[in-house]
């Protein structure tokens, strides 16, 4: 909490080159890029960082193979290059994974047609991943016995990428990077609107933890509020070429359905892609694609039934999945960028996720529409260039503001981990060695955890039963990760509430200790706040 309190004090006392409103993937990457290259940046979010669309994705980092059918090859090429760049920049986090796609009888194309498309997709991705394979039904069954192939014509296997951890954690690491570069960031700070006064934007904000209001001054204002970009533009009197339409998508987290480390893909009855995605000890299934009018959404009985029916139809499970098998639900909106003349209702299911940046050069205002996690590095670089054109000095234009620490740092960590036999402390239910996980999640900061464990071996113990999170991780989260509410840790810095049933979390003997570590004298209040929210 100290980090946030210090930053709250700084926000009204300084004049920033740029204020970024919104801490989802677009805002986080923009802040990291700008501050990494030397601009003076502030970043606020009215909730927690990655608290909306950026925590409800499929955890996939893919080049947009579905846009092949609509002929948007330029976008596919760009996204494939972005995917490859992320794999190279974050080898511990963004990893290649095989997609096994089954084509059933009655589909609009013979399986050879989409299989040929995967070859073109592979070539457009610079042949960076493993080659595609065509599969007959028997080949599908041999690779994945759980798939019901009685109605299958064939299928194919190709590669894309996924996040080994979770989307919100990946986004927060950009926020953390921005903080390391000097960004003054705070969550739970809501913009009440911005006005232009002379050469500056004056943004009135409210600290949602204590209701205190104050103002932030900046030369440039970036609206990266995700699904609420249009709403904030209305508050600030900005007119833009683009606006958002919304697609609701849900995913269900269920017990692990297969031990294979591949994504199973199907085309559901209306032609949409449907995925079965590995998530450590769990499986993530979905998604839906429903037009909605506003970004505040929830999973309905119809949504849940759609996902369960599709999974039960396409897999041969010993017992069909039911609502009682659902461990967690992810539900959010995809903000899709359209122009008024483009009719967002036409061909809605084929609208792409490509981003658009609308610029008011006179007032030095940027609005970021649409976008997806795969394209985050491009968003960051594009924002830097646009801000430079608006007259803000970028002192270090060639600095690399993203990626894992270099190999020498990783080897120093792994060597120390081997010397202290860290992996012998890996819990029995863990999905990977402890050294691998700590490096992926914390990079160079994982070296501090080794010292904590050397001084006090209990720091290497799992704190909340059924998870892989250690005492020393909560200690670091308290100091560096601006955990303001218990849910911030359980759902976004970690993925505890995605893989552990709510009832198990509530009754975990380690939950109170976790609050003590994270919140000190506010522990009881934060715990009760969480328990009351969960009950609600």
Question: 337 phi and psi, to 5 degrees?
Answer: -80, 125
What integer is the mean pLDDT of 165-181? 96
Q: Where are the beta strands (DSSP E) in 114-272?
A: 133-135, 152-163, 184-186, 189-197, 200-207, 212-223, 243-255, 262-267
Take residue 41 and report the two structure tokens written for it.
């940046």
Equal fold, 2-54+167-240+350-390 vs 72-165+245-344: no
Q: How sure is the predictor about 342, in pLDDT bands with cuts at 50, 70 and 90?
A: low
Burial class of 408 by CB neighbour count within 10 A (0 to 12, 13 to 18, 19+): exposed
Q: Give me the pLDDT at residue 308, please.
A: 96
DSSP 470: B
Question: 269-314 pLDDT, tens per residue?
Answer: 767 789 999 998 899 999 888 999 999 999 999 999 999 999 999 9
| The pLDDT of residue 171 is above 80 | yes
| The pLDDT of residue 254 is above 90 | yes
| The pLDDT of residue 7 is above 90 | yes
| The pLDDT of residue 344 is above 60 | no
Using a pLDDT cut of 90, give the percent of the chain over it: 84
Q: How sure is the predictor about 527, in pLDDT bands with cuts at 50, 70 and 90?
A: very high
3-state SS string over 194-240?
EEEECCEEEEEEEECCCCEEEEEEEEEEEECCHHHHHHHHHHHCCCC
- Range 2-54+167-240+350-390: architecture per CATH: 3-Layer(bba) Sandwich (3.50)
Q: How sure is the predictor about 348, in pLDDT bands with cuts at 50, 70 and 90?
A: low
Report the distance separating Cα 393 and Cα 397, nearest Å.
Answer: 9
DSSP 11: G
| The pLDDT of residue 224 is above 50 | yes
Q: Give me the pLDDT at residue 535, please.
A: 59
Report the distance separating Cα 29 and Cα 26, nearest Å.
Answer: 5
Task: Report CA-CA distances (Å) from 22 to 47, 310, 346, 363.
Answer: 9, 35, 29, 19
Q: Give me the pLDDT at residue 109, please.
A: 82
Report the distance separating Cα 270 and Cα 512, nearest Å.
Answer: 47
| 415/346: higher pLDDT | 415
| The pLDDT of residue 466 is above 80 | no
Long-range contacts of 343-348 (CB under 8 A, 24+ apart): 344/243, 344/245, 345/245, 345/291, 348/245, 348/247, 348/291
What integer is the mean pLDDT of 58-67? 88
Q: Give me the pLDDT at residue 447, please.
A: 96
Boundaries of every domain in the chain: 2-54+167-240+350-390, 72-165+245-344, 407-532
Contact, 25 vs 371, CB < 8 A?
Answer: yes
pTM, full prediction: 0.95
Report the distance separating Cα 398 and Cα 368, nearest Å.
Answer: 23
Take residue 100 and report the two structure tokens written for it.
């096994």
Please state, rounded to an integer, the average pLDDT across all residues of the chain: 93
Q: Render 300-344 in DSSP notation, one character per residue.
A: -HHHHHHHHHHHHHHB--SS---GGG--EEEEEEEEEEE-GGG-T
Q: 3-class DSSP state for residue 412?
A: helix
- Range 72-165+245-344: architecture per CATH: 2-Layer Sandwich (3.30)
Q: Give me the pLDDT at residue 431, please.
A: 80
Contact, 327 vs 500, CB < 8 A?
Answer: yes
Contact, 53 vs 334, CB < 8 A?
Answer: yes
Strand pairing report for 212-223 and 15-21: parallel
Closest CA to 336 of 325, 350, 323, 317: 350
Strand pairing report for 152-163 and 133-135: antiparallel
Residue matched to tokens 């992926």: 440
Report the distance separating Cα 14 and Cα 204, nearest Å.
Answer: 14
Q: Give me the pLDDT at residue 71, please.
A: 83
Q: How sure is the predictor about 346, in pLDDT bands with cuts at 50, 70 and 90?
A: very low
Question: 149 phi and psi, to 5 degrees?
Answer: -105, 10
What integer is the mean pLDDT of 135-143? 96
Q: 3-class DSSP state for residue 5?
A: helix
Q: Give me the pLDDT at residue 345, please.
A: 47
């Amino acid at each position: 909490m100290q980090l946030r309190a210090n930053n709250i004090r700084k926000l009204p006392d300084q004049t920033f080159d740029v204020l970024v409103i919104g801490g989802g993937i677009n805002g986080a990457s923009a802040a990291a890029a700008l501050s990494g290259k030397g601009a003076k940046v502030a970043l606020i979010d009215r909730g927690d960082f990655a608290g909306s669309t950026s925590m409800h994705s499929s955890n996939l980092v893919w080049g947009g193979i579905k846009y092949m059918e609509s002929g948007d090859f330029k976008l596919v090429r760009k996204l494939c290059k972005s995917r490859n760049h992320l794999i190279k920049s974050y080898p511990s986090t963004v990893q290649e994974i095989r997609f096994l796609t089954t084509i059933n009888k009655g589909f609009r194309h013979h399986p050879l047609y989409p299989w040929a498309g995967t070859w073109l997709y592979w070539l457009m991705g610079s042949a960076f991943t493993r080659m595609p394979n065509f599969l007959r039904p028997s080949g599908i069954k041999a690779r994945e016995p759980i798939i019901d192939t009685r109605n299958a014509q064939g299928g194919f296997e190709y590669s894309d990428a996924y996040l080994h951890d979770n989307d919100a954690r990946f986004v927060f690491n950009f926020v953390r990077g921005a903080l390391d570069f000097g960004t003054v960031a705070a969550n739970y700070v809501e913009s009440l609107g911005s006005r232009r006064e002379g050469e500056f934007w004056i943004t009135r904000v409210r600290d949602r933890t204590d209701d205190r209001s104050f103002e932030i001054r900046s030369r440039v204002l970036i609206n990266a509020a995700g699904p609420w970009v249009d709403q904030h533009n209305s508050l600030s009197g900005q007119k833009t070429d683009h606006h958002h339409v919304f697609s609701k998508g849900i995913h269900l987290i269920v017990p692990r359905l297969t031990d294979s480390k591949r994504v199973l893909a199907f085309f559901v009855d209306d032609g949409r892609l449907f995925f079965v995605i590995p998530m450590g000890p769990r499986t993530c299934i979905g998604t839906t694609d429903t037009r909605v009018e506003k970004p505040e959404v929830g999973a309905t009985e119809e949504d849940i039934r759609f996902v369960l029916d599709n999974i039960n139809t396409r897999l041969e499970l010993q017992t069909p999945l039911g609502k009682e098998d659902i461990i967690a639900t992810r539900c959010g909106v995809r903000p899709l960028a359209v122009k008024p003349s483009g009719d967002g209702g036409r061909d809605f299911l084929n609208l792409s996720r490509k981003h658009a940046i609308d610029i008011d050069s006179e007032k030095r205002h940027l609005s970021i529409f649409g976008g997806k996690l795969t394209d985050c590095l491009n968003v960051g670089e594009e924002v830097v260039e646009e801000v430079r054109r608006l007259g803000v000095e970028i002192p270090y234009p060639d600095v690399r503001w993203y990626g894992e620490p270099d190999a020498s740092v990783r080897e120093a960590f792994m060597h120390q981990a081997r010397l202290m036999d860290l992996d012998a402390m890996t819990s029995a239910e863990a999905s990977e060695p402890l050294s691998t996980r700590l490096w992926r999640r914390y990079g160079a900061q994982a070296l501090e955890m080794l010292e904590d464990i050397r001084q006090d071996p209990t720091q290497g113990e799992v704190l909340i039963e059924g998870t892989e999170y250690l005492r020393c991780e909560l200690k670091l989260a308290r100091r560096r990760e601006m955990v303001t509410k218990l849910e911030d840790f359980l759902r976004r810095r970690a993925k505890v509430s995605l893989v552990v049933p709510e009832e198990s979390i509530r009754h975990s003997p380690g939950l109170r200790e976790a609050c003590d570590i994270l919140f000190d004298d506010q522990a009881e209040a934060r715990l009760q706040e969480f328990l009351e929210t969960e009950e609600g």
